[in-house]
A and B are shown apart, each in its own frame.
Chain A
Amino acid sequence: MNSQIIASTASKVVARALTEQERHEIDHELSLYPDKRAVGLEALKIVQKHQGWVSDESLHAVADYLGMSAHELDGVATFFNLIFRQPVGRRVMLFCDSVSCYIMGCENIKAHISKRLGIDYGETTADGEFTLIPVPCLGDCDKAPVMLLDGEQQRRLTPEKIDALLDKAGVPSSLGNE
């Protein structure tokens, strides 16, 4: 039986219904662990895969499904930087700003991205296409500077390479050049 809090301190959030696909995938994970709560992180990843991010409504839905409180699940969700508790763009740029990339001039690359997209770290373009997020390391130091875009590693970044990527994505070169 799913847990259901009938009357407790009222939450303003109403859990949404999980989609059949989400439930199916979470059920698979549940079959792999002896403890429902252990599935928390995987379930959040599943929801994020389908929804792009984890809204409060999704959080409550998953918490109910796993028999834990939304507070406890949010503890898991917020611990991990890459579980998004705010909406992100359709494409997320995970841009490394750690030591090796810094030595190899990642700051210039980041400035170029910001200039073309008009966004800083943690921001999303107005059209909802790109979000730029710094990460500490992508494990590819010999090919620095690097970033991860749509799950694909982009290596030895130069302003030209960025332009090529963004042109391909149809970003007008004037964007942010006001």
Chain B
Amino acid sequence: MAKISIDGIQYEVNAANNLLQECLSQGLDLPYFCWHPCMGSVGACRQCAVKQYRDADDTKGTLVMACMTPITDGGIYSIQDSQAVDFRSHVIESLMISHPHDCPVCEEGGECHLQDMTQMSGHNYRRYDFQKVTHRNQNLGPFLNHEMNRCIACYRCVRFYGDYAGGSDLVALASHHHVYFGRHEEGTLENEFSGNLVEVCPTGVFTDKTFSAHYSRKWDLQTAPSICSGCGVGCNTSPGERYGSLRRIVNRYHHDINGYFLCDRGRFGYDANNSPQRVTEPVFAQARINGNSEASAHKSMTALEAARQFEAMTGGEVIGIGSPRASLESNIALLQRVGAENFYPGLSDGELACVREVLLLLREPGLHCPDIRGLEQCDCVLLVDEDLSNTSARMALALRQATRNAATAMATAARIPPWQDAAVRELAQHERSPLIILSPQGTRLDDVASDTFLGTVAQQIRLLNAISRCLDPHFDAPVESPELVARAETIAGALVQATRPCLVSGISAQSPALIQATANVARALRIRRKGETESPVDLCFAMPEANTLGLALLAEGSANTLSAALSRLAQGKADAAIVLENDLFRRAPAAQVNAALAGQLPLVVLDHLHNAFNAHARLLLPAASPAESNGSWVNYEARAQSAYRVFAPKEPLRASYEWLTPADPVQLPLIGSEEILAQFASAHPGFAALRKLLTQREGLSAVMKSPRQLPRYSGRTAMQADKHVHEYRQTLDPQSPLSFSMEGVPLQKDSSLLSVAWAPGWNSNQAISKFQQEINGELQQGCKGVHLLTRDGVDASYTQTAQLSEKTLSPYFISHLFGGEEISAEAAAIQARASGPYACIDDKRARELGVNQHGRIAVHAGELSVTLPVLIRQRIAPGGIGIYCAGELDRFTLAQELRVEAVAEEPDMLLRSREMFRHLLINDSWQGRNGA
């Protein structure tokens, strides 16, 4: 800590930071553009100039850029000094020279950092009356608009896109007043974090194209604190609603998880909420009761009729199948309705077996599950199998930062502060912390990897076992070839040398053996490090869905599997079945699901989107989407977080837990999410931690509610005038500490229920600095969620891993960020980036089969035969074959032994598949930014 004086006032500040960061941490207003809390300083824009004085006798002082000035103890500075104020006003005047007068039609208007800083700097009259520089804009694909004329050349976009996120197709072109931030040729921005440019850009050069289609000003959006349901990371989001439809998503800062950045699936997948596929009313398939499957006989009904029908259909013994993409509350409600013995987690058998392993590992005291911030701090990462960039992309972004720790260490040794971004990069060049990737095919992180091993799951397990043996000679592993042992030794060496090594994997391969083998490496590493350090080894597993772990926790201690449920259904060993927000065709072999459906049990499905499975429901109940219902979600760390509904769903939609909890449906209010959690937490000691989540909420509801709308929310009295001349009553929300209104306790520097960041003078999302304890610090009174698991298990000895056969041709399954997740795949912008199913093979197999790039092959597995377009890649596991199911193919049947053969090429098919592959994010043998 250091003591400094700013404008005559004493402050205690962190001497490790620069002056700008500390000014902002103290709540002072100092304008800036090029500096970003997560990307450090480059001193490019000259906007944050302040006066620095040598000592108390120095009355003149010198102008310095605050972002480039290290703190010195006893330093004397002035923000208000007239020369500094004058300098800043001239800087912004010159930055604004070519900036258009288009605020009223600009989508950034009202949440524009440039507007805020211009106001702050007092530049309000333009003296420049020469010709402005104008640029041609580019079509950057389905996610982003481009309006280069608004650019003030702060370089933040390329620093984020290239330096931070590893993208190579957005650059600064030309120089001086012609400088242009764009692509060398028009086309879709490829990086999976491109959407962050919307928030990184201080003005309206990059704006959200999906938002344009139904634009509303920030102050007119109704928002609530929410959790992304795109994968198991649990990023915090601020979705915005207007006129009953979801308009966009922006980042909501969480210190330990997403920080300032979201992936593009999370940001642009929201539009599924407005999809024509939404289930908007109860569908009762009357015809099916008479054995007639004509769809025309479907009868729609009111919510009340549907609730009564639901009760009538589900008397007696009812099978309940839960869902990893439904909230904890909905799963609990189902569990309580059907009883534990009839509750089946709606995970595939493979997923369930994996998650059970992971739950055990999350309790082992010798291991530690890092949060995203923790991942960024690791100085050696072994990534096993999981294609993070396509499954849990935010984790991949964190691992990319972890490889920079070597650079930070070099800088520290050279006494360069880590926030000196350009200097640190210049010093380190291509020096990176080790990132070792075992994978069946090349990944999007290969450009920063120190070593990549291409192998099938069986080959990866062999390498992992060899690594364990290198770390601990007592580890019992089969003797391997000298090449493999040499490889294992190098990897083991890197892990041992690191101060904070980390192992990361996931359950996408649905292989418990792989999880055990990875855990064994972590255990062996802990044994090896004994004596040197007692700190636990970092080990984490990405979860595919927002509540995979929560669902598995609910079903813990039960032996129920999905296939058991399906065979019970097929045999008619129950009176009815309820399936919660789940497309079972994605969870089990189609033959099994069809057999279960043929059992003719009354089937009730609750869901918010129509899909292949719920088309078979006798009663389909319309469920509120995650944005329309309160709910808690358990992420990959077993951290439970609350999401609040952004807006009330239209009748007859209800949250699944409301449908599932027997109540008199006429008597409102229906059961609340808090009530469900509270009851469950008291009855189940394993979930006692949930009460902490509730205490946080209760403290909040005790006082007045917090508004979901900003004070300037407009049109309240007029927005429903087309329906009725009188102003409608505001929707009440007895279930949460938030109100559907602009009245209530305004959030001033208290982020406990921060719907969206806003502070006086700070209209953009960068207002978040006003809610942080310090820049990049925790939120003040923030809800970080609660960890449901404690390390109360025992340190297990090694788990014997099953030897997998390497003889048969069984495929690995490919994941894609866009289209690979069921719900976001219904968003139009995501669909524009998604592909259909395809197969991936290497050159050798392509030659054997006689198939060309983008040609087609037939794949046979059991009774299933499909024809797939082919992507020939250089970097895939020797002898491997990858299949991308796109939510259409039956992965479970294909997982058996495969037979493949070439199919005659048809030119139009070739063209079609080439078109399909256009937007895939696959770079092969791509050396990327490494170059060397």
Contacts and interface: CB of A to CB of B under 8 A. Distances in A.
Contacts of A73: 184
Given A4-B874, A35-B429, A71-B168, A10 B187 contact: yes
A157 to B, nearest CB: 27
A128 B917 CA distance: 41
Given A4-B924, A35-B931, A71-B183, A9 B172 contact: no
A11 interface: yes
A6 B924 contact: yes
Contacts of B921: 8
A9 B919 contact: yes
A74 B184 contact: yes
B411 to A, nearest CB: 19
Interface stretch (A62-70, A89-97, A141-149): A62-70
B926 interface: yes
A69 B168 contact: yes
Residue among B141, B172, B874, B931 with most chain A CB within 10 A: B931
Given A37-B931, A71-B184, A8 B174 contact: no
Given A71-B171, A72-B171, A78-B174, A6 B918 contact: no
B168 A7 contact: no
B505 to A, nearest CB: 26
B925 interface: yes
B170 interface: yes
B349 interface: no
A22 B141 CA distance: 35
Contacts of B168: 68-69, 71-72
Contacts of A69: 168-169, 184
A79 B918 contact: no
Interface in B575-594: none
Contacts of B919: 9
B871 interface: yes
A75 interface: yes
A36 interface: yes
A66 B930 CA distance: 11
Contacts of B184: 59, 69-71, 73-75
Interface in B301-329: none
B924 A71 contact: no
Interface in B100-143: 141
Interface string B398-441: 00000000000000000000000000000001100000000000
Interface string B144-178: 00000000000000000010000011111111000
Contact of B141 (A9, A37, A59, A72): A9
A8 B835 CA distance: 12
A5 B918 CA distance: 11
A56 interface: yes
Interface in B877-932: 917-932
B175 A79 contact: yes
Report the contact-size class of chain A (Cβ under 8 Å from the partner): 20 to 34
A7 B429 contact: no
A11 B188 CA distance: 10
A173 interface: no
B873 interface: yes
B185 interface: yes
B190 interface: yes
A4 B853 CA distance: 14
A13 B917 CA distance: 17
A1 B924 CA distance: 11
Contact of A7 (B162, B173, B187, B922): B922
Given A7-B917, A8-B190, A71 B170 contact: yes
Nearest to B854: A7
Given A3-B925, A8-B921, A74 B871 contact: no
B17 to A, nearest CB: 31
Interface string A110-154: 000000000000000000000000000000000000000000000
A75 B173 CA distance: 4
Contact of B185 (A13, A36, A68, A79): A13
B820 to A, nearest CB: 16
A11 B184 CA distance: 10
Contacts of A8: 190, 920-923
A12 interface: yes
A11 to B, nearest CB: 6
Contacts of B872: 6
A5 B169 contact: no
B185 A11 contact: yes
Nearest to A37: B931
B931 A68 contact: yes
A34 interface: yes
Interface in A40-75: 56, 59, 66-75
List of 5 A-B pairs having minimum Cβ-Cβ separation, nearest first: A75-B171, A74-B184, A69-B168, A67-B927, A37-B931
Interface of A: 1-13, 34-37, 56, 59, 66-75, 78-79
8 contacts: A8-B920, A8-B922, A9-B141, A9-B190, A34-B932, A56-B185, A68-B931, A75-B171
Given A8-B923, A67-B928, A75-B184, 14 more contacts: A4-B925, A4-B926, A6-B872, A6-B873, A9-B141, A9-B918, A10-B187, A67-B930, A68-B929, A69-B169, A72-B168, A75-B171, A75-B172, A78-B175
